[in-house]
Amino acid sequence: MMQKKAVSFFVKVAMFAALSIVLYFISFPLPFFVPFLKVQFSNLPAYIAGFALHPVGGLLVVVIRFLIKIPMSDTGVVGELADLAIGVVAVGVSSMIYQKYKTKKGAIVALIVGTICWIVTAMLMNAFVLAPLYDLPTNDQSFMNTYLFANVLPFNAILSVLVAIITFLVYKRISNLLQKF
């Protein structure tokens, strides 16, 4: 019985990871933001896996997506590292909260905290990892303020809120479907 549960868990993780990878490649920029910031909903399956299976399931989806994306990277793996950090923190924290409080209110709190974690992680990664690695003028305060507060912050706020709302709207239906298998 234990082996059957483990197989079921890993099959579901693989399905969510595959969906996450497909969603990663469906991306588009938003007007008014720097063009390399692209909307893609690849964290959505990770959130759902983290909520439905276990936080470990969500984290596995994030890590598998990262490992598959590396050979196809057009950012020198820098963008993928940021995406990994954002996914691990946001999905990990929100899934752990939801694991403890499996109610509608718990889901809302988990997604709000996950959204805040996403935004903070994106800001930190851009300020201290991405900008230096891309040799952006990190000593120029006006550039960093414009880059971080006019681009990174609002872009990630929009994206993380959209992912949280979609997760909230579809999670229960998908969870009910998963319980049948």
pTM of the model: 0.92
**Structural domains of the chain, ranges and CATH numbers in brackets:** 2-26+37-179 (1.10.1760.20)
For 107-122, write each residue's pLDDT tens digit.
999 999 999 999 999 9
For 84-104, write each residue's pLDDT tens digit.
999 999 999 999 999 999 999
- 177 Cβ contact list (under 8 Å, min separation 6): none
Q: Between 135 and 44, name the one with better pLDDT.
A: 44
Q: Got the DSSP string for 74-136?
A: SSTTHHHHHHHHHHHHHHHHHHHHHHH--SHHHHHHHHHHHHHHHHHHHHHHIIIIIHHHTT-
Return d(Cα 117, Cα 115) in angstroms, integer. 5
Q: Between 39 and 141, name the one with better pLDDT.
A: 39
pLDDT at 181: 74
For 58-74, write each residue's pLDDT tens digit.
999 999 999 999 998 87
